[in-house]
């Protein structure tokens, strides 16, 4: 799972734009896989693992402010998260 932590959203301030990868995208560890923009700054998101994107939270694309309300919530509806199926043969 790739997401935005509570610390990151506090540092960024009010989030106004989110870019997430498409389902089926294959990414490698440390590769750019998305971005967030706020009224203060913009930040790229890099993946900690290699794998294939199998699920994305489209709600945060439509309503990026959800990240500020509950960045680490248990439910997908309020967490900037992308699910990755890890390639077990790569780091």
Structural domain total, the chain? 1
Per-residue pLDDT, 78: 39
pLDDT-based confidence at residue 57 (cuts at 50, 70, 90): confident
Model confidence pLDDT, tens digit, residues 12-50: 999 999 998 888 888 888 999 889 999 999 999 888 888
Degrees to nearest 5, angle at CA 11 with 77 and 31: 70
The answer to whether residue 91 scores a pLDDT higher than 60 is no
> Could you tell me if residue 68 is inside a domain?
yes
Alpha-carbon span 9 to 27, nearest angstrom: 24
From the list 60, 1, 11, 67, the residue with the least C-alpha distance to 33 is: 1
Whole domain around residue 40: which residue ranges?
Answer: 2-86
Q: What is the pLDDT of residue 1?
A: 72
pTM over 0.95: no
- The pLDDT, as a whole number, for residue 4 is 79
Q: Examine residue 91 and state whether it is found in any structural domain, yes or no.
A: no
CATH code (residue 25): 2.40.50.100
């Amino acid at each position: 799972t790739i997401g935005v932590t509570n610390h990151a959203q506090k540092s960024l301030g009010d989030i106004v734009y989110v870019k997430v990868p498409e389902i089926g995208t294959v990414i490698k560890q440390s590769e750019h896989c998305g971005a967030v923009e706020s009224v203060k700054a913009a930040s790229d998101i890099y993946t900690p693992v290699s794998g294939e994107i199998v699920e994305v939270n489209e709600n945060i694309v439509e309503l990026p402010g959800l990240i500020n309300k509950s960045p680490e919530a248990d439910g997908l509806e309020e967490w900037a998260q992308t699910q990755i199926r890890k390639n077990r043969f790569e780091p």
